[in-house]
Amino acid sequence: MSYRPKALVLQLPTWRSHFLLALIMLSFAGMLTRAIYLQGIRNDFLRQKGESRYSRVIELSAHRGMIVDRNGQPLAISTPVESVWASPDDVEIDSAKLTELSKILGMPSREIRKKLSETSKDFVYIERQLPPDVAAQVVELKIPGIFLQREYRRYYPSGDVMAHVIGFTNSDDNGQEGLELGYQNVLGGQPGSRRVIKDRLGRIVEDVESIRTPRPGQNVTLSIDSQIQYLAYREIKNAVEQNKAKSGSIIVLDSRTGEVLAMATIPTYNPNNREDLKAGLVRNRAVTDNYEPGSTLKPFTIAAGLESGKYTPDTLIQTAPGTLTIGRATIHDAEKSGLLSVSQVIQKSSNVGASKIALSLEPKAMWDMLHSCGFGTAPESGFPGEASGRLRPYENWHPIEQATMSFGNGISVSLLQLARAYTIFTDGGVLMPITFLKKDGQPHGKRVISEKTANEMVKILESVVQPDGTGPLAQVVGYNVAGKTGTAHKVEGNGYAAHRYVASFIGFAPASNPRLIVAVAVDEPSNGKYYGGEVAAPVFSRVMGGALQMLGVPSDAPPNNVVMPSMNAFLKEDM
């Protein structure tokens, strides 16, 4: 009889099978609930996830408005460019394609990889503002997840000639300096957007909807005259180079309207190529920098004296012995002159004479004159970063301060402020508002001095450019000129630098019916000449003469009106 073993039977407890079945059913219930939640209640979540694979919101750049000069010449225009961007999650790129992309963009491969590694973002720029031919090479690579976006790049036809007036924009086409910044709200417009469907290669296969229509910026017409601007730029540049100066600025105003026809600062920069741009070069020194104006402020002291009724142009002032001691300080004249008329105080640029006139006035009367001319307050021209200058309250003045302020020490101004202030002499005593925008009508100014005083001051300032004055080099063939020279020591620490100066000249023409004001300032000339009559007056003459001819302003003097003295003593003036 053979042996047969018993069959082995595995028996599980009944509760285990029930538990396993319950677990499976619970899992199915959970998945069913989740499915109902996502597809029924929160179906937008899955739809968004699905749409994110093919649907994109494209930003539509607004076309920035043009900037043109008063004659319609373009000064700033926007040209279309392409920017390369990526959706990091969608990018599929191998080493070979990465190397090709790196060569086309001129960008290291590691930098591209770094940008593509930002998978938490749906949108990253790889390179912006590419020329169309370069962008076309990127498209030819057919890299999934890398796309192009149309933008605009600013171009400045005048380059460095107009750089400090116009300024520039950044890569987002927003103004950063100059009038590009000052009129950003007008020029910038409003960007738009639209929703599109793209394939894996970034090609738009369907335009779904417009979310926001872009609103283009408005054009801005400036008061600048491009021809006069180039003339002013050329002459101030030559003056800075010839005199080995640190910098120089020039402003040309229409004296009747307060419009800025030209403004240039040297050194300058090219706004179309700012790769190696130094921060200090973008500053428009004529608007943002303060300096002590020296003798170019004297006409306002004399005007205050005439307005007081204590003086006439022929009133005599004793300036001998060429010095005036106030307390422990002594004021000096460049040349000893003795008895001078009020008119000659300006013609000879006597510090002593100006100080005596100032000290005979109430401090408030002198402060009112300076403040009414705009000193100590921003010119409100619309240019960003305007300097207000420094005019201390008259309650705190000591006699020596009132005296030195009469010839431009102890007060700081910008060249734009000073040029504007001279409109009280060209417009019959009325201070005109200043503007960089072209004006059609006649603006309304503010009366500061009487018309009688203004006319007397014109005659006094005409004497400055005569052979016996300090500024004969400012004379212009065929036109009578009026103006004032200035040579001021620069402030250094708690005092004044011994051999650092600002040479300046501010004047207007034709004197019989003023049309233009030209203000010139040359900072730290160091080639042997430093008087305003030597350095700045010749620049004034060339710019004024050229600008008057460009505008077709009739002559008010014979062609042989320019008369020079036989000696160079006329160039000396107060400091």
What are 36's two structure tokens? 């109902």
Low-confidence residues of the chain: pLDDT under 50: 205-207, 569-570
Task: Judge contact between 326 and 405, C-beta under 8 A.
Answer: no
Q: Tell me the pTM.
A: 0.84
pLDDT for residue 570? 47
What's the rounded Cα separation, in Å, for the pair 479 and 557? 5
By the 10 Å C-beta count (0-12 exposed, 13-18 middle, 19+ buried), 297 is classed as buried
The class level of CATH for 226-571 reads alpha beta
Q: Which distant-in-sequence residues (6+ apart) come within 8 Å of 328 by Cβ?
A: none
* Residue 550: closest CA among 504, 515, 512: 515
What's the rounded Cα separation, in Å, for the pair 521 and 544? 15
Residue 113 forms beta bridges with which residues?
none
Give domain 56-77+153-221's CATH architecture: Alpha-Beta Complex (3.90)
What's the rounded Cα separation, in Å, for the pair 435 and 444? 12
What are 570's two structure tokens? 């006329």
What's the chain's length in residues? 575
* Residue 550: closest CA among 175, 134, 231: 231
pLDDT for residue 41? 65
pLDDT for residue 402? 96
Residue spans of the domains in the chain: they are 56-77+153-221, 226-571
pLDDT for residue 193? 63
What's the rounded Cα separation, in Å, for the pair 166 and 522? 22
Residue 484 forms beta bridges with which residues?
506
pLDDT digits (tens, 9 = 90+) for 322-347: 999 999 999 999 888 899 999 999 99
Tell me the backbone φ, ψ of residue 150, rounded to 5 degrees. -75, 130
**Reduced to 3 DSSP states, what percent helix, strand and coil does the chain have, rounded to the nearest 5?**
35, 25, 40
Q: Is 406 a catalytic residue?
A: no
Report which DSSP code applies to 279: G
What's the rounded Cα separation, in Å, for the pair 269 and 255? 29
Out of 83, 158, 255, 295, pick the active-site residue. Answer: 295
pLDDT for residue 371? 97
pLDDT digits (tens, 9 = 90+) for 409-457: 999 999 999 999 999 999 999 999 999 999 988 899 999 999 999 999 9
* Residue 89: closest CA among 116, 127, 62: 116
C-alpha triplet 400, 405, 406: angle, nearest 5°: 105
Task: Judge contact between 142 and 100, C-beta under 8 A.
Answer: no
pLDDT for residue 502? 96
SS3 85: strand
Going 371 to 375 to 381 to 384, the CA torsion angle's sign is: negative
Task: Judge contact between 385 and 288, C-beta under 8 A.
Answer: yes
What's the rounded Cα separation, in Å, for the pair 346 and 340? 10
Distances (CA, A) of 285 to 37, 220, 242, 249, 456: 66, 23, 20, 7, 32
